[in-house]
């Protein structure tokens, strides 16, 4: 039976890869590289694939093999967001299944290096479940956790996610405006290309923002939305232009 290791590699700093992840990486015959986004440009590919290569170079003695699985095209502004994401995941499952069947021996060990932790806004596990449910190839898999981008954010700002006993709400820029009032004390917001907090937050809300966390390009801004909101938007736009890509996350506290 083919075996697949879904390995969380943390949010960008090679030193934040766990020893469990390193041990797993050493047993892999071929790494399947999935998350390239052609519409976001070549720079993304080089940065994300490049970081994975840096991690492998650093921790694996000897040769390793990368199999790049092309990303199927995706409609970023569909009428039905969930239906489009399901269609896209199915298309990705097709390509990954084919790559596993053709690039991995029947008793081989494949690896997928997942940004941050595989349980947080990542489609790898959903896709692996789809492939197993189809039953066309025999596949067993193991998940190795990784440091999340919000752990990197809170450590960089030296803060807790919550005040004593408060709940924490994790959401995306797309869904930020839907947070129920009772859950808005501490919101962790990911995947927000539009600085949505500028529309939803009160000027007195506090924001801790971080981009390229754990990398040499890390940027941190903190303050009330009224004081630093516009600066975050300008900094984000300029950084995205300079690098060709950006990953940023923030904690918003009411």
Residues that bind ligand SAM (CB under 6 A): 11-12, 115-117, 120-122, 148-149, 190-191, 210-214, 247-249
Give me the phi and psi of 215, to 5 degrees please.
Answer: -110, 170
Task: Please name which of 179, 156, 194, 164 lies closest in space to residue 252, comparing C-alpha atoms.
Answer: 179
Report the residue number, 110 or 214, with the smaller CB distance to ligand SAM. 214
Q: Please report how close the Cβ of residue 167 comes to ligand SAM at its closest, in angstroms.
A: 20
* Cβ neighbours of residue 115 closer than 8 Å, sequence gap 6 or more: 9, 11, 35, 48, 122, 146
Report the residue number, 9 or 104, with the smaller CB distance to ligand SAM. 9
Q: Spell out where 99-138 has E strands.
A: 109-114
Q: Please report how close the Cβ of residue 153 comes to ligand SAM at its closest, in angstroms.
A: 7
Q: Please report how close the Cβ of residue 173 comes to ligand SAM at its closest, in angstroms.
A: 8
Report the residue number, 104 or 143, with the smaller CB distance to ligand SAM. 143
Report the residue number, 71 or 122, with the smaller CB distance to ligand SAM. 122
Q: Please report how close the Cβ of residue 42 comes to ligand SAM at its closest, in angstroms.
A: 19
Tell me the residue nearest to ligand SAM as measured from the CB: 116
For residue 226, give Cα distances in angstroms to 159, 195, 201, 231: 20, 13, 9, 10
Q: Spell out where 65-128 has E strands.
A: 66-68, 109-114
């Amino acid at each position: 039976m083919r075996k697949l290791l879904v390995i969380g590699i943390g949010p960008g700093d090679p030193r934040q890869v766990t020893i469990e992840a390193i041990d797993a990486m050493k047993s892999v015959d071929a790494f399947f590289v999935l998350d390239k986004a052609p519409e976001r440009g070549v720079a993304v590919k080089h940065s994300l694939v490049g970081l994975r290569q840096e991690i492998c170079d650093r921790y694996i003695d000897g040769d390793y093999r990368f199999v790049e699985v092309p990303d199927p095209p995706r409609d970023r502004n569909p009428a039905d967001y969930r239906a489009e994401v399901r269609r896209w995941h199915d298309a990705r499952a097709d390509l990954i299944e084919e790559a596993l069947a053709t690039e991995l021996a029947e008793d081989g060990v494949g690896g997928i290096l997942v940004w941050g932790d595989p349980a947080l806004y990542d489609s790898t596990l959903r896709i692996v479940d789809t492939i197993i449910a189809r039953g066309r190839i025999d596949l067993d898999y193991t998940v190795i956790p990784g440091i999340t981008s919000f752990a990197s954010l809170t450590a960089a700002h030296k803060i807790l996610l919550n005040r004593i006993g408060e709940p924490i709400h994790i959401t995306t820029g797309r869904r930020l405006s839907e947070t129920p009032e009772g859950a808005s004390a501490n919101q962790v917001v990911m995947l927000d290309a539009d600085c949505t907090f500028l529309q939803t937050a009160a000027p007195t809300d506090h924001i801790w923002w971080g981009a390229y966390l754990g990398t040499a390009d890390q940027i941190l801004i903190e303050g009330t939305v009224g004081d630093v909101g516009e600066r975050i938007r300008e900094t984000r736009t300029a950084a995205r232009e300079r690098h060709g890509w950006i990953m940023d996350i923030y904690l918003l506290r009411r």
